[in-house]
Amino acid sequence: MPIPESATLEQLRSAAEARDPERCQFLLKSLFMEMDFYPALAVVIERAQSFLDTFELYYPDGSFARQILMQMVNTGTAPARLPPEAMRDFQSPGAANYMKALADLARALQQGPLPPRIGYLVSATVNAIMAELVEHYYGRRPEAWDLMRKQPDDPASKEIAYEFWTDEEVALLDTDHWLQVADSIEQHTRRQYR
């Protein structure tokens, strides 16, 4: 398998700087399709692990998340479905995104054609990043988070969502996380082709 195009990696970095989520996802899928599956999986697991401690702060009984990630790291496998305790309503900022990331990681590890599995890896990456952004912003704004959860169609909720996405700190964090994904792809690719 050829080394992923450095031009595509640079395009991903440019899309991250421009905060173009659709382009980031498209480029990430292209890069993952060029990589062996397990190095691509490692990139996503790294991203998911970065939110694990925060998740466990909110949910001290959520040790299943760490166990699932450890199973993925140690054996390259995942449970066919997440445990029942992962199916509850996670109300803390970012937690639902994180559960979606773990579910997508688990789906990516099931047998089947490669393109859908890569799609799950991309979705897991997006949700792991979003978990961090949502927690960073709404963790400091519990009233806004409560309104967003209870009344998502309220005009005030739409304004809050806009303020979240355009917040300077969120923008910097979003770009930084995507750049970290690009750096991780580069590192795993170099290891793969040594």
In a domain, 48, yes or no: yes
Domain that holds residue 167: 6-192
In a domain, 109, yes or no: yes
In a domain, 71, yes or no: yes
Q: What local confidence, expressed as pLDDT, does residue 191 receive?
A: 77
The one-letter code for the residue type at 68 is I
Alpha helices in the chain (DSSP H): 6-18, 21-34, 37-49, 52-58, 63-75, 95-108, 114-138, 142-150, 155-166, 168-192
- Residue 94: left (phi > 0), alpha (psi -120 to 50), or beta? left
Residue 1, pLDDT > 50, answer no
Q: 86 by DSSP, 3-state: which?
A: helix
In a domain, 107, yes or no: yes
Q: How many domains does the chain have?
A: 1
Residue 2, pLDDT > 60, answer no
Per-residue tokens: 78: 């995942």
Closest residue by Cα to residue 98 from 140, 141, 137, 69: 69
Per-residue tokens: 179: 């750049």
Q: What local confidence, expressed as pLDDT, does residue 88 receive?
A: 84
Question: Using an 8 Å Cβ cutoff, are 109 and 76 in contact?
Answer: yes
5: confidence class by pLDDT, cuts 50, 70, 90: low
| Distance separating alpha carbons of residues 10 and 31, to the nearest angstrom | 11
Q: What local confidence, expressed as pLDDT, does residue 62 receive?
A: 87
CA torsion, ordered 142, 143, 145, 148, to nearest 10 deg: 170
pLDDT single digits (tens) 55-114: 999 999 889 999 999 999 999 898 877 888 888 889 999 999 999 999 999 999 999 999
Per-residue tokens: 104: 């997508």
Residues near 7 by beta carbon (within 8 Å), at least 6 away in sequence = none
In a domain, 1, yes or no: no
Instruction: Note the pTM of the prediction, 2 decimals.
Output: 0.93
Closest residue by Cα to residue 50 from 189, 161, 176: 176
Rounded to an integer, the average pLDDT of 34-61 is: 95
Q: What local confidence, expressed as pLDDT, does residue 192 receive?
A: 64
Q: What local confidence, expressed as pLDDT, does residue 80 receive?
A: 78
Per-residue tokens: 70: 């450890």
| Distance separating alpha carbons of residues 51 and 53, to the nearest angstrom | 6
| Distance separating alpha carbons of residues 115 and 112, to the nearest angstrom | 9
117: confidence class by pLDDT, cuts 50, 70, 90: very high
Question: Using an 8 Å Cβ cutoff, are 84 and 8 in contact?
Answer: no
pLDDT single digits (tens) 130-166: 999 999 999 999 999 999 999 999 999 999 999 999 9
Portion of the chain with pLDDT greater than 90, in percent: 85
Arithmetic mean of pLDDT over the chain: 93
